[in-house]
């Protein structure tokens, strides 16, 4: 089953390290050159579902906590989340290969 775009982008943002919600929003916007901007409702709704589904976990302790706003919640991708993201990326790569084999991928001048 395909992952919602927001979920995949959040998993990608967390792939290289733990992060808090606002930083995830910034990371997604930067990685997509502003094409995808997650609003608070989309972000936190997705995070809630991802926690429930075991794709991410909320951290009890975090590095640099003394320098940070105590209200910030930090998230980490789980092994299940990493496996799910890899499967979705493979699915999308296969779809792109299939599309490239059609006239959709042919550029007309």
CATH architecture of 5-103: Orthogonal Bundle (1.10)
On the question of pLDDT at 11 being above 90, the answer is yes
pLDDT over 70 percentage in the chain? 90
Angle between helices 5-14 and 21-31 (to 10 degrees): 100
* pLDDT for residue 8: 98
Spatial distance between the Cα atoms of 71 and 100, rounded to a whole number of angstroms: 46
* pLDDT for residue 18: 96
Averaged pLDDT of the chain? 91
- Domains of the chain, by residue range, sit at 5-103
Q: What is the pLDDT of residues 54-106, one digit of tens each?
A: 999 999 875 555 556 667 899 999 999 999 999 999 999 999 999 999 988 77
Spatial distance between the Cα atoms of 66 and 73, rounded to a whole number of angstroms: 13
* pLDDT for residue 1: 77
* pLDDT for residue 107: 72
pTM value is 0.87
Burial of 33 (C-beta count, 10 Å sphere; 0-12/13-18/19+): exposed
* pLDDT for residue 19: 95
Residue 100 has, within 13 A of its CA and on its CB side, a CA count of: 6
């Amino acid at each position: 089953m395909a992952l919602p775009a927001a979920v995949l982008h959040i998993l990608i943002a967390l792939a290289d390290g733990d992060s808090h919600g606002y930083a995830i929003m910034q990371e997604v916007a930067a990685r997509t050159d502003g094409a995808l901007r997650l609003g608070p409702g989309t972000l936190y709704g997705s995070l809630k579902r991802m926690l429930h589904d075991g794709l991410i976990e909320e951290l009890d302790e975090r590095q640099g906590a003394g320098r940070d706003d105590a209200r910030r919640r930090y998230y980490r991708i789980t092994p299940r989340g990493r496996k799910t993201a890899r499967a979705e990326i493979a699915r999308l790569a296969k779809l792109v290969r299939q599309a490239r084999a059609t006239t959709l991928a042919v550029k007309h001048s």
